[in-house]
Structure 1
């Protein structure tokens, strides 16, 4: 276990940049997982991180010590920081004091869609993106494709909202969604408040490419026109529409219901 006590340490400065800058995370191809649950999930599903960072107080926490012990058994890198230095890079208020430095996967689309997938067109809110990833993973969907205008999936806010879903998903970013849909070998469904066909009237016992769009503008018109079906989720009451993350969850679990039924 290595210890850093100076803010002027080059390695520590690098962590500060990664914690506070989306541009730094994209440029370096790395991000930080903050908190016990995310670190445990990564360790279980992906293995050892590039580095584990712990605050001095956290070294007395049982769950943190279990993580550190497992990493040391694998001869992985563990970095200890005084609490003041750790708290300066952590974005979790009242967190336990452990984070992982991990590489962010860069995947390139090489073949047409053949299984159920999620396509996010300009979904900008990190909380919504994270919630959609979490629901997709829970429903057994394993592929997610994001347009250039969608929130960066490996940002701290998306990671926290997804609660470990990233580690069971194949996530593709900066994807040309119209080209992906045009070449798709599966049914494509776009949700739209102007559609007349109900979600519940579509046969979902087959692979589906789910299209969800910008929180205010919805799916782009060119992409909407390419969809096999445009569907609406009926709702009662005076609200105009569902939140995009709630809409996605309804769609995924209606597909799961039909397949299980």
Structure 2
């Protein structure tokens, strides 16, 4: 295993790494992203996927978790200072491991007869990652993001997803109007206005869930072409966090199908 020490923040490899971490346009242009932390890298490798390069610190090289990753990796390991790593990291308190990987390209066309999650302008990376994690756990394999949603393959969304991305078919920058009428299965939106209770719906067959923006909810277009469901809230709160609401819907679906 060749080990290469990089000291300058102006080194081209460091600049490339920083661009992938911080800029969505740069990630798209390069066709790459960054997995931060050993958990994501191990989950990636378990799917038989390749890591292009690894950046770590001298201290982290001694850790067995990093060693397990390096054992499955063929290239050079780039070692940087603790201070430079902290400057690059979005986590701050994890074992130093930044892995550059190629962005997956979806090889399958969207299936309009299968369970699907559509995120319409959901902007918070934590919410998006959590929803992907809950969807994957509930058996939903297709996730569609409209323009305006957080980038699915940003380091922050990847961190929140905890590896869920790697078992999902994902589609980004989709125009909702182009696809919603093509689904041959029920389409539901969460809305507190003029909606039937989630628990009154028959969710035993495939369906689509549309979850909307954290502040504004789903669009008028989505409300027009989908059935609205509400989650009963006897405590009287105005609304639930979108990731919490989505997770409740997914697992009510799971409960009915058991």
Shared fold (TM-score, shorter chain, > 0.5):
yes
Per the alignment, residue 123 of structure 1 pairs with 122
Task: Indicate the RMSD between aligned Cα atoms, in angstroms.
Answer: 1.7
Alignment deviations for residues 207-256 of structure 1 (CA, whole Å, 9 cap, x no partner): 111011011111100122111x2111111113101111001000100000
SS in 2 for 1:160: helix
Per the alignment, residue 92 of structure 2 pairs with 93
Q: Which moved more, 1:128-137 or 1:99-108?
A: 99-108
Contact 1:50-1:77 within 8 A present in 2 as well: no
Output the CA distance in 2 between the equivalents of 1:51 and 1:217: 40
- The question of 1:219 aligning with 2:221 is answered no
Q: Displaced runs of 4+ in structure 1, greater than 4 A?
A: none
Output the CA distance in 2 between the equivalents of 1:207 and 1:253: 13
Determine which of 245, 248, 251 is the counterpart of 1:247.
Answer: 245
Number of residues of Structure 1 aligned to a counterpart in Structure 2: 256
Q: Which moved more, 1:98-107 or 1:149-158?
A: 98-107
SS in 1 for 2:6: coil
What is the correspondence of 1:22-171 to structure 2 with a 5 Å cutoff? Answer: 22-71=24-73, 75-107=74-106, 110-171=109-170
Output the CA distance in 1 between the equivalents of 2:48 and 2:120: 28
SS in 1 for 2:60: helix
Per the alignment, residue 18 of structure 1 pairs with 20
Shift of 1:109: 7.6
What is the correspondence of 1:222-233 to structure 2 with a 5 Å cutoff? Answer: 222-227=221-226, 229-233=227-231
SS in 1 for 2:250: helix
Output the CA distance in 1 between the equivalents of 2:195 and 2:144: 26
Alignment deviations for residues 155-192 of structure 1 (CA, whole Å, 9 cap, x no partner): 12111111111111111000111221101121111111
Alignment deviations for residues 83-106 of structure 1 (CA, whole Å, 9 cap, x no partner): 343333222212211121112224
Q: Which moved more, 1:83-92 or 1:244-253?
A: 83-92
Output the CA distance in 2 between the equivalents of 1:34 and 1:209: 31
SS in 1 for 2:211: strand
- The question of 1:199 aligning with 2:198 is answered yes
Contact 1:4-1:12 within 8 A present in 2 as well: no
Q: Which moved more, 1:105-114 or 1:58-67?
A: 105-114
Per the alignment, residue 232 of structure 2 pairs with 234
Output the CA distance in 2 between the equivalents of 1:172 and 1:46: 21
Per the alignment, residue 6 of structure 1 pairs with 7
Contact 1:109-1:172 within 8 A present in 2 as well: no
Alignment deviations for residues 28-51 of structure 1 (CA, whole Å, 9 cap, x no partner): 221111101111111112422122
Shift of 1:111: 4.7
Shift of 1:76: 4.1
Contact 1:190-1:224 within 8 A present in 2 as well: yes
What is the correspondence of 1:167-178 to structure 2 with a 5 Å cutoff? Answer: 167-178=166-177
